[in-house]
Structure 1
Amino acid sequence: MITLNDYLYSGDTIFRILQQYTDALRKEARKSHNEIDMAHSNFLILIKGLLEHNDFLTAQSQQIREFYKYMAKQYPYLAFTFKGRIKSLIRAEEKFNGYIVSYIYDYYTKYGKYPSVNKLKSRLSCFRDFIAYRIVICMPKCHLKQGEDLETEELKCLYEIANALPGFLEERGFDAEDAKGVKLSTSPLLNDDVKPYYRDYVCNKSHNGYQSLHITFYDNSSRSYMELQLRTKRMDDIAEIGPANHLEYEKRQEKERIQRDTIPKGECIYFDEAYERGMKLLNLDLTKIDVNMFTAMSKSLINDGCGLYHGRLILPYEHLSRFQNDLID
């Protein structure tokens, strides 16, 4: 079986690794008539194209910057940041195989049989966050009026911004994608005309406290999808350094995948291969990898200039709250 791990020790660039892995996977898929491996190779071709021909990111980030300017004018009393990133190759590969494992496992658990290839391929088409942006807002307490609650006022602002975002970007060449009822918002603060587009993890809080508003857009200029997340600073802290942080997510995911080997081995090749690829990446020793521009003393001491492990930052904007009202006697 062909895995990404087979190509991480040659000293090649990220592009050569992607090309070699894709070619090998496609060749094997044709030989074995494996439609999921073919879908996998098409997914890798998309990633390579986005990484290699990323001039569109300049235009895309410019449009996102227009919303930043809108917010700076509309909410001068807010502090907020805009960040963007392209998902790392390792994380994208983990997530793609994770989709296969989780979907087959859930389907098998519910129905006692395996999903059809068409159903599985449909599930794999849901990968929409290879390019993602995040807006994090914070209201300084000094701007609160007497009797106002910080969390309540920040939520009002967050949903106001969420109401304005789809129309703003649609005028600039982006189409908001229907969330198909996933985490449908029940908040009265979110307008009915935009509710179908949002996955609302604020009113549908997870057990670990994760909260955020997620919306997906299709960029017609680059013909690619992007995800945009909206959070308050408190929500972002919980997601990044609190109980919902990515490390804890990976630990839970690791535990879940270990439990999934209860599915009889050898009965579903798509599950077996995705599970093995995922486990190999999970147990990858980063200190032994030899990829151009990548070295690692440990997971916490990584110099990744190629987007292999950390991904690539594409948008750092920061707006500090204005205190002009404080100067008035």
Structure 2
Amino acid sequence: MITLNDYLYSGDTLLRILHNYSGDLRKDARKNKNEIDLAHCNFLLQITELLEHNDFLTAQSQKIREFYKYMAREYPFLAFTFKGRIKSLIRAEEKFNGYIVEYIYDYHMEHGTYPSVSEIKNRLTCFRDLIAYRIVISMPRCHLKSEQDREKVEEKYLYEIANALPAFLEERGFTVESARGIMESPSELLNDEVRPYYRDYVAGKTPQDYRSLHITLYDNSSRCFMEVQLRTKSMDDVAEIGPANHLGYEKGQDEARARRDAIPEGECIYFDEAYERGMRLQKLELSKLDVNMFAAVNNSLINDGCGLYRGRLILPYEHLSRFQNDLID
């Protein structure tokens, strides 16, 4: 079985790793008539094209910047950041294989059999966040009345911004995608006309206190999907450096091992291969990798300038709150 791990110690650049890995995987898939591995190759091709031919990202980020300028006019008292990234190769590979493992396990638990190849391939089409943008807002304490609750005020503005975002971007060439009922928002702060498009992890309960609003859009100019996440600073802290980060990783390992115990080895080759690829990635010793522009002392101290582990940044905008004497009503 061909895995990404086999290519990470060669000293090659990220793009060369992608070309070699996907090329060898495609040859092996054709030889063994493995349709899921062929779908895997097409997924890797999407990442490669984003990294090789990313001129369209300049035009895309300029459209996102228009919303940044809108927010600066409408909410001068808020501090906020806009960030964009292409998903890292390692995280994308983990997620792709994780989708396969999770779907086959759930299907087997419900039906007692295994899904067809076409059903697995259909599940893999839901990957929509290779490109993702994140808007993080914060209300400086100097703009708050002493009796006001900061979290409630920030959430009010977060939903207000979420209400404006879909129509704003649709006017600039994006199509908003339905959330298909996943984490449908119960919040009265979200307008009914935009409610079907958001996955609301703010009002809905999630493991490890993860909170964020997610919306998926299709860029009609570049013909690709992208995801936008909206968070307050405290929500972002929980997701990036709090329990939603570390504990989620540990919980994911435990769940993956439980699924392996439930699916006998050798009964479903697609489950076996996806599970093994995922487990090998979790056991990577990053300090021993030899990839252009990547260096790691250990699995915590990482300097990744190539998009291997942390993702490649494509949009850093920051707006500092304007100091105002008037308090917020």
| TM norm structure 2 | 0.95
Answering whether residue 182 of structure 2 is matched by residue 143 of structure 1, we say no
1:131-162 residue CA offsets vs partner (Å, 9 max, x unmatched): 11111111123323464332222111111100
What residue in structure 2 maps to residue 20 of structure 1?
A: 20
Q: In structure 1, give the amino acid aligned to 2:141.
A: K
1:103-150 residue CA offsets vs partner (Å, 9 max, x unmatched): 111111122111111111111111111111111111123323464332
1:60-85 residue CA offsets vs partner (Å, 9 max, x unmatched): 11111110100010011111111111
Q: In structure 2, give the amino acid aligned to 1:9.
A: Y
Q: In structure 2, give the amino acid aligned to 1:139.
A: M
Q: In structure 2, give the amino acid aligned to 1:20.
A: N
Structure 1: state its 5+ residue gaps. Answer: none
Determine the C-alpha separation between the residues in 2 that align with 1:233 and 1:287.
31
1:138-197 residue CA offsets vs partner (Å, 9 max, x unmatched): 112332346433222211111110000000011111111111000001111111111111
Answering whether residue 256 of structure 2 is matched by residue 257 of structure 1, we say yes
1:258-278 residue CA offsets vs partner (Å, 9 max, x unmatched): 111111000000000000111
Q: In structure 1, give the amino acid aligned to 2:240.
A: E
What residue in structure 2 maps to residue 313 of structure 1?
A: 313
Q: In structure 2, give the amino acid aligned to 1:67.
A: F
How far did 1:326 drift? 5.3
SS in 1 for 2:148: coil
What residue in structure 1 maps to residue 112 of structure 2?
A: 112
Q: In structure 1, give the amino acid aligned to 2:248.
A: Y
Q: In structure 1, give the amino acid aligned to 2:316.
A: P
Structure 1 residues 162-201: aligned runs within 5 Å: 162-201=162-201
Determine the C-alpha separation between the residues in 2 that align with 1:140 and 1:291.
41
Determine the C-alpha separation between the residues in 2 that align with 1:130 and 1:36.
19
Determine the C-alpha separation between the residues in 1 that align with 2:169 and 2:188.
23
What residue in structure 2 maps to residue 69 of structure 1?
A: 69
Q: In structure 1, give the amino acid aligned to 2:158.
A: L
How far did 1:207 drift? 3.1
RMSD: 1.4
Deviates most, 262-271 or 143-152:
143-152
What residue in structure 2 maps to residue 273 of structure 1?
A: 273
Answering whether residue 26 of structure 2 is matched by residue 45 of structure 1, we say no
Q: CA 1:79–1:108 in 2, change beyond 3 Å: closer, same or farther?
A: same
| TM norm structure 1 | 0.95
Structure 2: state its 5+ residue gaps. Answer: none
Determine the C-alpha separation between the residues in 2 that align with 1:284 and 1:148.
47
Q: 4+ runs of 1 displaced by more than 4 Å?
A: none
Deviates most, 36-45 or 205-214:
205-214
Determine the C-alpha separation between the residues in 1 that align with 2:164 and 2:190.
10
What residue in structure 2 maps to residue 124 of structure 1?
A: 124
Determine the C-alpha separation between the residues in 1 that align with 2:232 and 2:296.
33
SS in 2 for 1:325: coil
1:181-228 residue CA offsets vs partner (Å, 9 max, x unmatched): 000011111111111110001111213111110001111122111110
SS in 1 for 2:325: helix
SS in 1 for 2:297: strand
